[in-house]
């Protein structure tokens, strides 16, 4: 991690869950996907680390599911990032990293 890279402190568990529910309150996500993210509540991450954390959570959640479900989760990913990263400028930077990663995948 470079010294100039922005460090993001993720919201605590309660706030994180509230923010995620505003993105999508589907019960299956609450039971099976959000726990993958909630275990990182309150931790520090750089923007690239947020993208990796989200990608790993999506991978764990969608294992064995049709590709359309994986695509659906990545379509929602920018909203999840905006929910997890409070600062809009840093959320935008993190979403740019996500787009770059997806473009090379």
Average model confidence (pLDDT) across the chain: 94
Interval 74-100: pLDDT, tens:
999 999 999 999 999 999 999 999 999
pTM for the structure as a whole? 0.91
pLDDT at 105: 77
pLDDT at 2: 47
Phi, psi of 36 (to 5 degrees): -65, -35
Q: Which spans in the chain are helix H?
A: 13-23, 27-28, 34-38, 47-62, 67-84, 88-104
> CA-CA distance, 65 to 50, in Å (whole number)?
23
3 has pLDDT over 70: no
Q: What is the mean pLDDT of residues 18-35?
A: 97
């Amino acid at each position: 991690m470079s010294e100039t890279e922005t460090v993001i402190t993720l919201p605590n568990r309660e706030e994180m869950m509230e923010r995620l529910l505003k993105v999508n309150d589907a019960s299956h996500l609450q039971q099976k996907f959000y726990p993958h993210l909630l275990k990182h509540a309150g931790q520090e991450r750089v923007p690239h680390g947020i993208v990796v954390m989200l990608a790993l959570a999506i991978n764990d959640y969608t294992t064995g599911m049709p590709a359309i479900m994986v695509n659906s989760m990545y379509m929602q990913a920018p909203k999840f990032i905006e929910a997890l990263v409070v600062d809009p400028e840093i959320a935008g930077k993190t979403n740019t990293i996500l787009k770059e990663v997806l473009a090379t995948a």
